[in-house]
Copies of this chain bind each other. A is one copy, B any other.
Amino acid sequence: MPDHNAPAALGGDDLETWSALATVLEWLPAALDAELLRDSDVTHFEYGILFALANASDLTLRMSVLAGYANSSLSRLSRAIQRLETRGWVQREPDPDDGRYTLATLTNRGREKFHQASPGHVATVNRLVLDPLTQSQRRLLRDISRRILRAIREEKGWQPPLSSN
């Protein structure tokens, strides 16, 4: 009785493709988070922050740059760094060159934490994503992902990766 003949529902192969992808969208991040939380007591978001700082020169980044890397709002990052700071993994100080910036630096303990957490996380990515695929599927997945990302970027008129607030 419902189902007007508008383009109001997916069907057939498209439905199967979308529902498979939608399920991945729900479960894969959860699985990744679960491993990090269980083995290292950090969220995937926090791990991303540690990763970015660990790979930065001087283990230091401006908050705004870090927000870009972590694809995060500044306010979310601010709270997250606050938490990492109380755990002793990160320190903040105003940029001496420009007092508006805040520099976040990985401490030694933070560096250790990152190196302790990494192998398990990388192993999980391999186990859940890379290993189950053939070489050509991996290449295809990369291309497919890029096409989807291009469509998303076009949608929002190419917002430069530093979404404010």
Interface residues of A (CB under 8 A from B): 2, 4, 6-10, 13-14, 16-18, 20-21, 23-29, 31, 54, 71, 111, 115, 118-119, 122-123, 125-133, 137-152, 155-156
**Chain B residues within an 8 Å CB radius of A149:** 20, 23-24, 27
Count of chain copies: 2
User: Cβ of B138 and Cβ of A151 under 8 Å apart?
Assistant: no
User: Cβ of A152 and Cβ of B125 under 8 Å apart?
Assistant: no
Cα(A127)–Cα(B29), bound, Å: 23
Cα(A115)–Cα(B3), bound, Å: 9
Q: Which residue of B lies closest to A18 (CB)?
A: B125
User: Cβ of A28 and Cβ of B25 under 8 Å apart?
Assistant: yes
